[in-house]
């Protein structure tokens, strides 16, 4: 038993209708955005042409699906696909971009020539479009539409470039501020004159000065154009600045450990504990920022944690000893108070 051609036409009709409705609905839903898209493609006024295409796609798709003048709706859609194909050829789109338009054009021609198939509500004499003179006029009109369109992709490209340039500038300015803050922190450390940090502070000072000069120089090169080289340079600067900050965090951790050692030598275990805790916070921050040296920082963190445990244990032992001494002193005072009362009674 053979499949009747009317069923095949029904299937083709349904496929074409679904595609048209699918692409037409977003255009109907936002006619203003659709108009802007048509202006960029060079079809002005965008609201006129964009709205016409939206109506053809959405309501034409519904008509084809219902079988109501499907041949006429398919003819309108076929002309649209001709314009679309020629326009994409004009702007040098690859074959993969306009091959879909050609396939839809072919489906439309089938519906125009063979009818809507089974369950069509009302037919339209589509054969009137299938004449060489009509075909040539339609092709010429489609060609004129494509030729006289003036695509304007520069505005959107320029907007993207401006946005990228603004982001790059903002990134450089943020990096410059961070470097300035780090330089202030180094200056404060220098004033404390901790001998053990002298060489480290000299190195980090030179590093930050070089970063500040680099950031200022590269910021001047940022222009309102899409330049991925500068974008990559800004990212590289940010990573380098983060690594410099990690370096400074380790220096500050070392400072806290040096001061903790001094506090221990004075038996000031409370200050020592505070200093070691601060050093651990610095090392934690350094671990999150450093580009490398993660293993070395982790080892230093482990040693600082062990030191903190030792300090706390020692502090606890000393507190217990002091509590015992105070208790013995109180007992002595009680005894002395009792002895004094006994002597007074005897007298």
**pTM of the full structure:** 0.47
Which of 152, 185, 204 delimits the end of a domain?
A: 152
Average pLDDT value for the chain: 80
pLDDT tens, residue by residue, 294-318: 677 777 777 777 777 777 777 666 5
Predicted confidence at residue 195, as pLDDT, reads 77
Give the Cα-Cα-Cα angle 230, 231, 237 (nearest 5 degrees).
Answer: 85
Residue 161 has pLDDT above 80, yes or no: no
Same domain, 191 and 308: yes
The helix/strand/coil state of 68 is strand
pLDDT tens, residue by residue, 171-187: 888 888 999 998 998 88
Same domain, 168 and 34: no
Q: Does a structural domain hold residue 305?
A: yes
pLDDT tens, residue by residue, 248-285: 888 888 888 788 878 877 878 788 888 888 888 888 88
Residue 338 has pLDDT above 60, yes or no: no
Q: Does a structural domain hold residue 200?
A: yes
Which of 121, 152, 183 delimits the end of a domain?
A: 152
Same domain, 145 and 85: yes
Q: Does a structural domain hold residue 22?
A: yes
Residues 6+ apart with CB under 8 A from 231: 164, 167, 168
Residues 6+ apart with CB under 8 A from 74: 16, 60, 64, 107, 108, 109, 111, 112, 126
Same domain, 121 and 230: no
Q: Does a structural domain hold residue 339?
A: no
Predicted confidence at residue 224, as pLDDT, reads 47
Same domain, 236 and 178: yes
Containing structural domain, residue 52: 5-152
Predicted confidence at residue 343, as pLDDT, reads 42
Q: Does a structural domain hold residue 203?
A: yes
Which of 113, 134, 152 delimits the end of a domain?
A: 152
Residue 59 has pLDDT above 90, yes or no: yes
Predicted confidence at residue 14, as pLDDT, reads 93
The helix/strand/coil state of 176 is helix
Greater pLDDT, 47 or 343: 47
- Residue 345 confidence class, pLDDT cut points 50, 70, 90: very low
> H/E element holding 1?
none
Q: How far apart are CA 23 and CA 290, in angstroms?
A: 50
Same domain, 108 and 256: no
Q: How many domains does the chain have?
A: 2
Q: How far apart are CA 165 and CA 159, in angstroms?
A: 10
Q: Does a structural domain hold residue 342?
A: no
Same domain, 30 and 65: yes
- Residue 329 confidence class, pLDDT cut points 50, 70, 90: low
- Residues 45-72 have a mean pLDDT of 92
Residue 58 has pLDDT above 90, yes or no: yes
Same domain, 82 and 135: yes
pLDDT tens, residue by residue, 186-245: 888 888 767 777 888 888 889 899 988 888 888 777 754 445 566 677 778 888 888 888
* Cβ proximity of 13 and 116 under 8 Å: yes
Q: Does a structural domain hold residue 231?
A: yes
- Percentage of the chain lying above the pLDDT 90 cut: 20
Q: Does a structural domain hold residue 74?
A: yes
Q: How far apart are CA 247 and CA 345, in angstroms?
A: 74
Same domain, 235 and 144: no
Same domain, 324 and 189: yes
Residue 1 has pLDDT above 80, yes or no: no
Give the Cα-Cα-Cα angle 25, 27, 33 (nearest 5 degrees).
Answer: 145
- Percentage of the chain lying above the pLDDT 70 cut: 82
- Residue 53 confidence class, pLDDT cut points 50, 70, 90: very high
Predicted confidence at residue 123, as pLDDT, reads 86
Same domain, 252 and 115: no
- Residue 328 confidence class, pLDDT cut points 50, 70, 90: low
Predicted confidence at residue 226, as pLDDT, reads 46
Same domain, 148 and 160: no
* Ordered DSSP codes for 71-135: HHHHHHHHHHHHHHHHHHHHTT--HHHHHHHHHHHHHHHHHHHH---TT-SB---GGGG-SHHHH
């Amino acid at each position: 038993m053979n499949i009747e051609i009317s069923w095949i036409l029904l299937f083709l009709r349904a496929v074409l209708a679904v595609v048209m409705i699918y692409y037409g609905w977003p255009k109907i839903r936002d006619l203003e955005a659709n108009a802007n898209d048509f202006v960029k493609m060079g079809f002005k006024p965008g609201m006129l042409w964009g709205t016409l295409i939206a109506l053809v796609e959405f309501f034409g798709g519904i008509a084809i699906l219902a079988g109501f003048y499907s041949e006429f709706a398919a003819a309108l859609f076929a002309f649209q696909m001709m314009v679309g194909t020629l326009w994409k050829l004009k702007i040098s789109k690859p074959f993969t971009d306009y091959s879909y338009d050609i396939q839809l054009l072919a489906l439309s021609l089938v519906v125009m020539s063979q009818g809507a198939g089974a369950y069509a509500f009302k037919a339209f004499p589509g054969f009137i479009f299938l004449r060489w003179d009509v075909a040539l006029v339609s092709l010429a009109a489609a060609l004129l539409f494509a030729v006289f369109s003036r695509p304007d992709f520069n505005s959107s490209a320029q907007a993207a470039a401006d946005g990228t340039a603004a982001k790059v500038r903002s990134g450089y300015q943020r990096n410059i501020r961070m470097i300035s803050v780090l330089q202030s922190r180094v200056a404060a450390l220098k004033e404390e004159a901790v001998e053990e940090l002298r060489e480290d502070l000299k190195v980090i000072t030179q590093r930050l000065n070089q970063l500040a000069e680099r950031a200022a120089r590269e910021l001047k090169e940022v222009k309102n154009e899409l330049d991925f080289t500068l974008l990559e340079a800004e990212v590289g600067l940010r990573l380098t600045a983060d690594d410099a900050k990690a370096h400074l965090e380790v220096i500050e951790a070392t400072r806290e450990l040096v001061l903790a050692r001094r506090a221990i030598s004075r038996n000031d275990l409370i200050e020592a504990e505070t200093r070691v805790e601060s050093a651990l916070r610095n090392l934690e921050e350094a671990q999150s920022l450093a580009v490398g040296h993660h293993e070395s920082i982790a080892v230093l963190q482990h040693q600082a944690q062990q030191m903190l445990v030792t300090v706390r244990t020692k502090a606890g032992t000393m507190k217990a000893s002091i509590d015992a001494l105070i208790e013995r002193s109180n007992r002595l005072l009680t005894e002395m108070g009792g002895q004094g009362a006994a002597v007074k009674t005897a007298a």
